[in-house]
Structure 1
Amino acid sequence: MEVNIRKEYPRPQFERKEWLNLNGEWDFQFDQTNVGEEEQWYKQTTLNQKIIVPFTYETKASGIHEESFCPYIWYQKIVTVPEEYSHKKTILHFQAADYVTKLWVNGIFAGQHKGGYTAFSFDITNYINAGKENNVVVKIEDSHNEHQPRGKQRWIDKNFGCWYVQSTGIWQTVWLEFLNQTSIQSVKITPDLDTDSVEFDYKLANVQQDQKELSLRTSITFNGQPVKEFSLRADRENARMKVNLASEIHEWKVMQWSPQHPHLYDVEFTLYHGEKELDRVQSYFGMRKVSIKNGNILLNNVPIYQKLLLDQGYWEDSHLTPPSEEAIILDIEKTFEMGFNGVRKHMKVEDQRFLYWADKKGLLVWSEMAATYQFSDEAIQNFTEEWMTVVQQHYNHPSIITWTPFNESWGVKNIYTNEQQQKFTEGIYHLTKSMDSMRPVIVNDGWEHTVSDIITLHDYVEYGDEFLNRYKEKDKLIKNEIAFNNFKHAMAQGYEYKGQPIIISEYGGIAFNSEEGWGYGNQVKDEQEFLDRYESITKAIMSLDYISGFCYTQITDVQQEVNGLLTESRKPKVNLSKIKQINDNQ
C-alpha cells in the first residue's frame, strides 16, 4: 500500500512560510500497563515499533493496524531544528491527537493538552538545541470514558450499531513553526454583506512594553487585484478594524461567496516594529451572510434549499484521517456530481484542509461536535471547553454555515424532560451565539429541540407515501401532537416551535441486500429498486413547501454500516447521474 504522509500545509487559513512538516515515520510503543512514565520512556531515543504519522495505530495506513484498544501509547522522533531558526521561537503544532497528549523534549516535560478534535501547540524554544538533534517524545492517554467527546468511536472492544473502531493518538498533521518573539496570534474575520464591509479582530502574542512602534498592515486582494490596504498601530495585544470592501474590481463592487460562485478574497497580515518585519501571515475570507427569515434559511439574503449528504469522514485504510488531499477533493467532487450542495459533517470536527477545499469549491458545511455519551459535570466541562475551541478555530471558514453541537440526544439522553440537560444545551447555544452571531445553531439535531435556530428531524421511513402521511400536518408535528421515528417528538417538553425553518436532516440510509453489514429499513436487491426508493422518499420531502432542505444518509459506507452511495473505497454503487437527476427535480 502506498503511504501519503500528508505533506501539504496543515492550516491554510493562517499560513506562514517558515515551517517544518514532521509527518512520516516515528518510533512507537504500546504501554498497556502504564509503566512508561515511571520507567522514564520520555528519555528513550528509540521505541520498539514504527508508525506512520498522522495515522492512528488502528489503521492500515499507520503500518501497525492493531484494532484492539490500548489506553497508553508513546511516540518518539529525533528532530533537527535548522540553525537558521536559532534566534526564533520554535512552536510544535498538533492539528489533532486523541485524547490527552503529554510532551517531552530532550527528556524535559514541555506540557500537555486534553481534547481529541482541536488543534493545539507547545512553545518548545527553551527545550531544544537549534542545529542539533532533539529527542521529541509524546505520550497519548485515551480511554473508553463516555464522559469525553468520542463521536463515533466505540467504547467497548467490538464495533456495534453505528459505532466504529476507536482512533487513539495522533490523527492529524504534526509540524514545527518558527516565529519572532512578538507575532500575530490570530485574526477573527467577520464579513458584513449588508454594508459591503469586513471586520478584523487581531490578537498579538508577546507584545513588549518597550515596543512602541508596532504596526499591523492588512492587504486585501481579489484574483491578484488590490482591493484595500490599511495599517493600524498595534501597541496592545488586541486590535479591531472594520473596512468597506467596495471597489472597482467588478461591476457589483463586492464579490460574494456562494456554492455557485465561491469567490474568496486573499488577505495578508504583516506585523512591523518600526521598519523591521516581525511576522507575515497569508489568509483568505468569503463575503457571505447566513440568516433566517419567515421560516426560510437565506444565503446572501436569498432563500437556499439545502441538499446535504451525511458525511462521517471515514476512509477504509486511514479511518478519521483523510489519506491525502486528493481524497478530500474527490469526496467533495462526488458530492457535487450527485447533485448535493453540502454536507453535514457527522460526529467529527474535520481536517482544516477539507474545510479549505470546501471554501474553495463552494461546499456548504454543517459543523458538528463529537458527542459524549453520559451526562455529568465532567462531561459538561469536557464538552464545553472543546466545543468553544472548535468554534474559535473554524470561525473564519465561509463554507461552515451551521453549528450543530448536539445530535439525537446523545450525551443528554433525558433531554425531553430533564431540566438540567435542557439548560446545558441552552447554555451551549448561547455560548456559541456569543462567539458567533453569524451562523444558525441547531440544538438538538434530530428531535427533542430546546432552543434552536433550525428544527431538524431524523426519519428513516422508507417510502414517500408514508412520509407524506406522517408529515402532512405540520402544526400537529411541531406541537408534539404527532410522534415520529420511533415515537420521538420535535420539541423537548416546555419548549415551543417559534417559526424556525424545518429540515429533514437524516433520512434514507438504503443498503443493498448483497452486502455484509446494515442499512436502514429493508435492503434493496438492485439499482432500480434503490433508485425507486430514493426517488420516492426524496421527492416526498421536496414536495412539502414548509421543509427547507434535507440530508441523505450517507456519502460512503463506514465499516459495518453499508448504506453509502459510495463504498468505503469510493466506488459508486449506483449511477451517480441518476441521483443527480432526482435531486435536481425540485
Structure 2
Amino acid sequence: MTSDATADATAQDGTYPRPQLVRPCWHDLSGVWDFARDDMMIAQVDRIVFDRRIEVPFPPESPASGIGDTRFTPCVWYRRSFGHAELLDAGYGPERPRVVLHLGAVDHTADVWVNGRLVASHSGGQSPFQVDITDALASQGDNVLTVRAVDVPDDVSVLRGKQDWRERPHSIWYHRTTGIWQPVWLECIPESAVRSLTWRPDLPTATVEVDVELSGPVPVDAWLRVALSHDDQTLAEGRVRTGGLQHGTVRLVIPRQLNGQEYEELLWSPARPTLLSASVTLERESGSVMDVVASYVGLRSVSVAGGNFLLNDRPLQVRAVLAQNYWPETHLAATAETLRREVELILELGFNTARVHQKAEDPRFLFWADRLGLMIWAETANAYAFDERAIVNLVGEWSALVRRDQSHPSVVVWVPLNESWGVQHISHDPRQAAFSRSISDLTRALDGSRPVISNDGWEHTASDILTIHDYESDPDVLAERYGEETPLREMLAGFGPAGRRMTIGAQDGGAPVILSEFGGVSLETDGADDWGYSSASDPAAFEEKVTAILRAVRRSSPLAGFCYTQLTDTGQETNGLLFADRSPKFPIERIRAAVTGGAD
C-alpha cells in the first residue's frame, strides 16, 4: 500500500505502523493466516500441522481472531505466504532492493522463519523488532513466513501486566494475549537506509537535535540532511557528514524560536498540539539521494519544580484517567480506527492525560495523542516475581520501549514499576530497592527530558513525582486527607491509605504529588462477577458518587493532579466511566463537567 504521508508525516491517517519514520510504500500482512496450537512446545517448523485459521493481529484468545480460545496456550504457530505482488506494494525495485519484515509486538518470545530459514528470534512481548529477509527470499514464486510464539501462562518472571496467570479472569486481571497482537508488515529500503530516529527539542536554546541510526553500508562521503517545516514554511535545515558511520546527530537552530515574543506559537500542548513536519535525507556528496523518510517533532518541555508539574515551564494541573486499553472483541490488540477513537473519547470526557496501565501501547495510539493533544504516562507491563530473569526481562524490554517512544511529544512521564509488582518486598529487601532506583536511573540515562515515577502508588525510591493510590469512597474523607499540605506530607513520610510505606529512603520534599489512582466505582448490574473498589446501585447514584469523589479531589490545592480509575469497564472490573463498548454510564457532557469542574 502507498502512504500519502511522505511529504508531511503530521497528516498521515493513523494506519502506518511506525508513525515517526514514514516511507511512501509498505505492505500490511494483517489478515487471515494459518494457525496451530503447540501445547507440548515440541513441534518443528517443518512438521507443524496447521489446522486452524486466524485473523492477525488479534490474539487467539479474542473473538476477533476467529479462534476465541481462552484456555492456557503456551505456544502457538502462524503461517502465511507472500509473493512478488506484495513486495512491489512494499516498494521493491532497483532503488529499494532490501526487504525488511517488521513485527510490532509478539507476546512473549518469537522465532521467525522465511522459507524454512530461521531469520529472527526476539524476547519481549511489547517491543517491536525487524529483520532484513532479502537473502531468505525465494528466487521465484511465493515465500512462506512462519512465526512461533511462546508465552507460558504461569511464568511470573516475564512481563505479564494485567494478563491473568489463572485460566479464568479474576479480580483486576484479564484474559491473556498470546502471540501476534500488533501489525506485521513489509517495507523495501535502499542498500543504505535510515533505520531509526530520536528527536530531542530544547526550548531555551531554540534547537532540535535528532539522532539518526543507519543500516547497510554507509559511504564515507554520505551526508545527513534534516529539514523542519510548519504550514509550508521551512523553519530550519541542517546537514552533517556521517564519515561512513552508521549513526549521526544533526542539531538544528530554529531562528523563529529565538524571538521570545512569538516562540510559544509553535509549542506543543494539549490546548494547542502543534507538530512540526520533518524530513531526513541520506545523500552523497554529489547530492544524489540514497534514502529519504518523513517524520515529525513536537516542541515542548516537561519538568517538575516547587510541587508543580510543568509543561513548557508552566504549571499544569494533570487531569488523567487510567486506561486499560482492552477491548472485548480484540483484547489488548486494536484496529487503527479503535486507537484513534480511544484518544478522542478521553479528550471528550475532559481529561488532558491518560495513564495507559500495565501496557505499552501501539505507536499509532501515540500518534493520535501527539496529533490531538493528549498527554500520556508511558507505562509497561510488570512481572510478578523478583529474580534474575525478571530483572533482565524488564531492563531489556523497558529500554527498548523507551527508545521506541521517547520522540513522542505526548509522552510526558515514564512509569517502569507499579504498586511494587515484581518488587513486592521493596520496603525491607535492599536488592529490590536497588532495582527500583536503578531502573529509574536507567530511564533517566536513556531519556533525561521527562520525569520518572520509580514505583507508582507507594514505596517510592527515586521518584520525580510522588504518587498515591487511594480508593476511599467517602468524598468528605478525601477532602480532609488531601485538602491541606501538612497532613499530606506527613502521610508521604509514613504509611499511605493502602498501608504501605510511601517512600523508601530520602525523597525530594518539594516533588509534586499526584493522586494517581482513586475512584473505582462500579455500577451494579445483574452480573455476578461485577467488581469495583466501591459500588453504586443505579445510574443516578453512580453519577452522584463519581461527581462527588472527583469534586473532592479536584479541589485539593496540595495535589498537582489526579488520575481517575478508570476509563472503561474491563471484563469483570466494572468500575469504568464508560461501559466496555465505550458507551457512557451518564451523559458525556456531565462526565466532562465532573472532570473539569464545570459541574460545580
Confirm or deny a common fold (TM above 0.5). yes
Report SS of the residue matched to 2:521: coil
Q: Is the contact made by 1:479 and 1:497 (CA closer than 8 Å) also made in structure 2?
A: no
Q: Which residues of 2 match residues 235-314 of structure 1 at below 5 A?
A: 235=243, 236-247=245-256, 252-253=262-263, 255-273=266-284, 274-314=286-326
> Which of 65, 69, 73 is the equivalent residue of 1:70?
73
Matches within 5 A, 1:426-441: 426-441=437-452
Which residue of the other structure, out of 502, 511, 516, is the alignment partner of 1:500? 511
Query: Does the 8 Å CA contact 2:484/2:556 hold for their aligned counterparts?
Result: no
Indicate the residue corresponding to 2:222 in structure 1: 214
Match of 1:133 in 2: 142
Letter in 1 for 2:179: G
Distance of 1:288 and 1:329 partners within structure 2:
22
Q: TM-score scaled by structure 2?
A: 0.92
- Residues 22-73 of structure 1 show CA distances to partners (whole Å, capped at 9, x for unaligned) of 1111111111122311x7237xxx7211101000111111011111021111
Residues 18, 337 of structure 1: alpha-carbon distance in 2 compared, 3 angstrom cutoff: closer
Change (3 A) 1:545 1:20: same
Distance (whole Å) between structure 1 residues aligned to residue 288 and residue 569 of structure 2: 54
The answer on whether the counterparts of 1:341 and 1:364 sit within 8 Å (CA) in structure 2 is yes
CA contact (8 A) 2:238 2:251 kept: no
Contact 2:482 2:559 in 1 (8 A): no
Work out the CA distance in 2 between the residues paired with 1:30 and 1:564: 34
Aligned residue runs from structure 1 range 447-466, under 5 A: 447-466=458-477
Q: Quote how far apart the aligned CAs of 1:472 are.
A: 4.6
Give the paired residue count. 573
1:152-163 to 2 correspondences below 5 Å: 152-163=162-173
Partner of 1:41: 47
Question: For residue 79 of structure 1, what is the aligned residue in structure 2?
Answer: 82
Residue 484 of structure 1: CA displacement?
3.2
Task: Give the aligned residue type for 2:223.
Answer: S
Is residue 478–residue 490 contact of structure 1 (8 Å, CA) maintained in 2? no
Deviation at 1:479, TM superposition (A): 4.4
Specify the alignment match of 2:9 in structure 1: none
- Which deviates more from structure 2 when the two are superposed, residues 312-321 or residues 237-246? 237-246
Residues in 2 aligned to 1:366 and 1:7: alpha-carbon distance in whole angstroms:
20
Q: CA deviation at 1:220?
A: 1.1
What is the alpha-carbon distance in structure 1 between the residues aligned to residue 588 and residue 494 of structure 2?
35
Aligned: 1:175 with 2:182:
no
Q: CA deviation at 1:248?
A: 9.0
Counterpart secondary structure, 2:586: coil
Is the CA contact (8 Å cut-off) linking 1:369 and 1:387 kept in structure 2? Answer: yes
The question of whether the paired residues in 1 share the 8 Å contact of 2:106 and 2:124 is answered with yes
Q: What pairs up with 1:4-19 in 2 under 5 angstroms?
A: 8-19=15-26
| Identical-pair percentage | 35
The separation in 2 between residues aligned to 1:179 and 1:334, in whole angstroms, is: 37
Q: 1:125 to 1:7 in 2, by over 3 A?
A: farther
2:498 aligned partner, one-letter code = N
1:474 shift after superposition: 4.1
Q: Deviation digits for residues 138-173 of structure 1, max 9, x if unmatched?
A: 111111210011110111211111111000000000
Q: CA deviation at 1:518?
A: 3.4
2-side partners of 1:307 and 1:519: how far apart? 24
Q: Which amino acid aligns with 2:167?
A: D
Structure 2: 5+ residue stretches without partners: 1-12
Deviations 1:384-440 (A, max 9, x none): 000011000001000000001110111100112211101001001111001111100
**Which digits, 9 at most, give the CA deviation of each residue in 1:178-212, with x for residues without a partner?**
1122111222110111222111112222234xx23
Residue in structure 1 matched with residue 208 of structure 2 by the alignment: 198
Q: Distance in 2 between matches of 1:477 and 1:295?
A: 12
Q: Please report how far the alpha carbon of residue 225 of structure 1 lies from its aligned counterpart in structure 2 after TM superposition.
A: 2.0
Counterpart of 1:512 in structure 2 is 523
Aligned counterpart for 2:175 among listed residues 149, 154, 165: 165
Equivalent residue, structure 2, for 1:151: 161
Give the letter aligned to residue 128 of structure 1. Answer: L
> Displacement, 1:469?
3.1
Which of 233, 252, 267 is matched with 2:241 structurally?
233
Which has the larger displacement, 345-354 or 482-491?
482-491
What's the counterpart of residue 3 of structure 1?
none
User: Once the two structures are superposed, what CA deviation does each residue of 1:96-140 show, in whole Å capped at 9, x if it has no partner?
Assistant: 010110011111111200010011011111100255300111111
Secondary structure of 2:552's aligned partner: helix
